[in-house]
Amino acid sequence: MSSILDLPTGQAEKKLDKEDEILDSSLRPKNWADYVGQEKIKENLKIIITAAKQRNQSPDHLLFYGNSGLGKTTLAHLVALEMGKKIRMTSGPAIERAGDLAAILTNLQEGDVLFLDEIHRMHKTIEEYIYPAMEDYKLNLILGKGPMARTMELQLPHFTIIGATTRPGLLSAPLRNRFGGTFQLNFYKPEDIEKIIERSARLLKVHIHPEAINIIAKRSRFTPRVANRLLKRVRDFAQVKNQGVVTREITEHALGSLEVDHMGLEPGDIKILLALIEKFDGGPVGLQSLAAAAMEEEDTLLDMYEPYLMQCGFIERTPKGRVASKMAYEHLGIKYSKVNNLI
Ligand code: ADP
């Protein structure tokens, strides 16, 4: 274990630097009514929070998992809001040392929410410190080194950790077991994505036609963050070419220029499907080989591309590896000639 005294207590707060993240926070729903879909999760969370409030306690630690952009961070904000408490944002990989964790935890107020994004990437050494903090609100720190080392126990305020991950399978069992509630966020229905686009257009003061909303929704990969990103791109085109009015024609033109096809596939997705079909005859092929052929990181393939390609039915994971479906060939306009097709 590392010692706290010889380590800087670096601020491990999450940095909001990407354009997407700025857009996220400006369009993030600030109340339950604006948080579209995921009804069952909302219902369960409201019960957990109400019960905790009645007992005058912090709710159990909560784990949200699901693809990027499906609304995990937004939900965490709503939980804090409902509890009337503050939320502190950080992420698993940002907490590098026990000192970072101590700085964050000792700065919490009674009842606060600590949002831990990408919790599956938390350092193993930090996990050891976080268990007693989650269970007994205690932090055991080691001061000094060697024979002079002493342990110090810090009593922490009560707080709720909300962990978020795209890869729940990578969490160690002891960490997973310390969450009292685990919720899976799913892809959204097209009509819910339409509602989200409508609301975002209102907030961004974009004049948009209903057919344009429908087209953007269909190409949004069933994901709110993608819907908002596409809306913003289309708005740029409308501003330059159509006095700001988002019509069907301008939307199709914009999305065509951005190479987002009618199912929401982008050049990155096409590259993966083409690699699978052209280099491996449609598979089966292992993740490593496919990632290498498509020149992508394995994690990127797993987190960013594969969930949606599988949702569309273009790729299937079989015990022997990834396989391209007949639909994938058809989508790319490639002749499908496999006799013993696996899917
Ligand atoms: P995640 O944490 O899962 O990556 P976020 O919570 O950051 O996703 O969501 C990305 C953006 O998508 C948010 O800023 C918000 O504008 C929008 N969003 C996500 N979920 C919803 C929802 N259920 N209703 C409306 N907008 C949503």
What CATH superfamily classification does 29-184 receive?
Answer: P-loop containing nucleotide triphosphate hydrolases (3.40.50.300)
pLDDT the model gives residue 337: 80
CB atoms within 10 A of CB 138: 15
Backbone φ and ψ of 165, nearest 5°: -155, 150
Query: Nearest residue CA, atom 6 of ligand 1?
Result: 71
For residue 107, give every residue at least 6 positions away whose Cβ sits within 8 Å of its Cβ, in sequence order, or none.
Answer: 88
Q: What is the reported pLDDT for 325?
A: 95
Span 213-233, average pLDDT: 96
Find out whether 307 and 67 touch, Cβ atoms under 8 Å.
yes
Question: For the chain, what are the domain ranges?
Answer: 29-184, 190-257, 267-341
Q: Considering the entire predicted model, what is its pTM?
A: 0.89
> What's the mean per-residue pLDDT of the chain?
90
Q: Under a CB-based contact definition with an 8 Å cutoff, are residues 192 and 177 in contact?
A: no
Lowest mean per-residue pLDDT among 14-28, 43-57, 179-193: 14-28
- For tokens 């952009």, name the residue: 69
How is the beta sheet containing 62-65 ordered, strand by strand? 87-91, 113-117, 160-165, 62-65, 181-184
pLDDT greater than 70 at residue 9: no
Phi, psi of 126, rounded to the nearest 5 degrees = -70, -35
pLDDT given for residue 1 in this prediction:
39
The per-residue pLDDT for 29 is: 94
Please give the residue that has the higher pLDDT: either 336 or 24.
336
Cα–ligand 1 centroid distance for 184 (angstroms):
14
Q: What is the pLDDT of residue 327?
A: 95
CA distance linking residue 166 with residue 91, whole number of Å: 13
Query: Per CATH, the architecture of 267-341 is what?
Result: Orthogonal Bundle (1.10)
pLDDT at 4 over 90: no
Residue 300 annotated as lining a ligand binding site: no
Whether pLDDT at 6 is above 70: no
Which residues have any ligand 1 atom within 6 Å of their CB? 24, 27-29, 35-38, 68-74, 164, 196, 224-225, 228
**For 129-182, what is each residue's pLDDT tens digit?**
999 999 999 998 888 788 888 888 889 999 999 999 999 999 999 999 999 999
- Tell me the CATH class for 190-257: mainly alpha
Active site residue 73: yes
Residues 227 and 217: beta-carbon distance below 8 Å: yes
Cα dist from 86 to 77, 82, 110, 197, 293, whole Å? 9, 10, 10, 28, 46
> Is residue 25 classed as helix, strand or coil in its secondary structure?
helix
